[in-house]
Structure 1
């Protein structure tokens, strides 16, 4: 086993560049296709759903969220908060509603959270923002039957940081019933010397306190959450989340099952 500390920068960058590992197309092309798929999926969801767009959850310019609301007579509906990926420096909530259609069809509210990506935002700020967004959602949507998190890539990291939150520092303690973390990065130390950290400018101290792998185990034990690992075949880092637009996709079914909707 080779420690990441012994790896050269070039090798670390290769290991932490998921676009290089896709077999579908060239690295640049897979990223362009990913953004296109997410944007088209989000536009489709907005054309079908009742939406509340650009709802503030804080005073900052980037502290806004979008809600995709199903047509249902029930006041008690599950709600999924989605945190987008993009290595903390790309994408936004404008490409984050793509998964809403199959969930809304089952009576689930989907909330896509925006946060200040780098270089405007730093890691501490982003973690603080997503935690505050969860508090705001709970305060605004009091009739939900269950609160769930879903994040992809950097968004999975941020969702894991939400799970590690000491809620005594906040005005409310959200009861998170489940989390769906897809292709996340949970140890930030290896990326300190790579291109990923150039806009983030994380120090070792910042990376350590924002690494879920150093925080989550004790959190999960304390909350009693059951944790499972799902290996999804025939996908890459990008297609694994893009396919959540499909109600028959394996992960869509798992997400709905977690909420008791399938």
Structure 2
């Protein structure tokens, strides 16, 4: 009986630690967990408002039939037909945030003549993991069809968005009408193996089974990524103050890509946490903005 209690106690402790590891807001050195999330939303909203003032915008452009299947396009004032285009996939643990706060990274890119597309997708509980992955894949196909004069297509995703961007890179495009040629991908503080989060609070709205988690884990799809995106330059970025588990996810995914012979670099960004690592893309002088360029 005593052994059984000890085992239960150990299991509870392991689960509590897993919850802590996958709660990014608890690892910021700048402010409390609640405050860092509030500050994050505020920073993204303000950056997006700034981008909407600077750029010509096409808002709520449909890429599918669903209510949530919409894009916001930030267009620089340029006459060039030879444009670079960045597709941004927002974070929020697949259950929070939207495209409405996702235009901020256009601020330094507008002057460089870069088009930025912020993708909306159906977050949980309305959307499940299979649907979200399908949506972001279709959004990229739609962008390529609408902008036939793209000279370079790039992906950027943060947190859950980095997971979705990695899933886009791992698409079997033979099931789609076109094969997007993605030149570069910027994966920031992502989750690439969904199995560890199955027993955490993240699962409550997602209702994800183990089978769904395996099917949608980029770490299990590296051979497909190599087939689909072999010429893509991939940057895996992680914050110095991300949790050890988040850092491990990035390091292991980076190593798996590198061992497959893919063109991948790792950026360990000093003095950042899970939130300001992406917020600072609003600044043209920020290290990651320069890497991204």
TM-score by length of 1: 0.94
1:211 match: 217
1:195 match: 201
Question: What runs of 5+ residues in structure 2 fail to find an aligned partner?
Answer: 1-10, 233-262
Equivalent residues of 1:163, 1:216 under 8 A apart: no
Pairwise mapping of residues 5-44 of structure 1 onto structure 2 (< 5 A)?
Answer: 8-44=14-50
Question: What runs of 5+ residues in structure 1 fail to find an aligned partner?
Answer: 1-5, 257-262
2:269 match: 232
> Displaced runs of 4+ in structure 1, greater than 4 A?
none
Residue of structure 1 aligned with 2:126, choices 120, 125, 147: 120
2:66 match: 60
Post-superposition shift, 1:227? 0.4
2:292 match: 255
For the aligned residue pairs, the C-alpha RMSD in angstroms reads: 1.1
Post-superposition shift, 1:219? 2.0
Equivalent residues of 1:57, 1:133 under 8 A apart: yes
CA distances 1:92-144 after superposition (whole Å, capped 9, x unpaired): 00000001010111010000000000000000000000000000000001111
Pairwise mapping of residues 49-198 of structure 1 onto structure 2 (< 5 A)?
Answer: 49-198=55-204
Equivalent residues of 2:154, 2:183 under 8 A apart: yes
Post-superposition shift, 1:224? 4.3
2:245 match: none
Is 1:244 the counterpart of 2:281 in the alignment?
yes
TM-score by length of 2: 0.84
Equivalent residues of 2:171, 2:224 under 8 A apart: no
Larger radius of gyration: 2
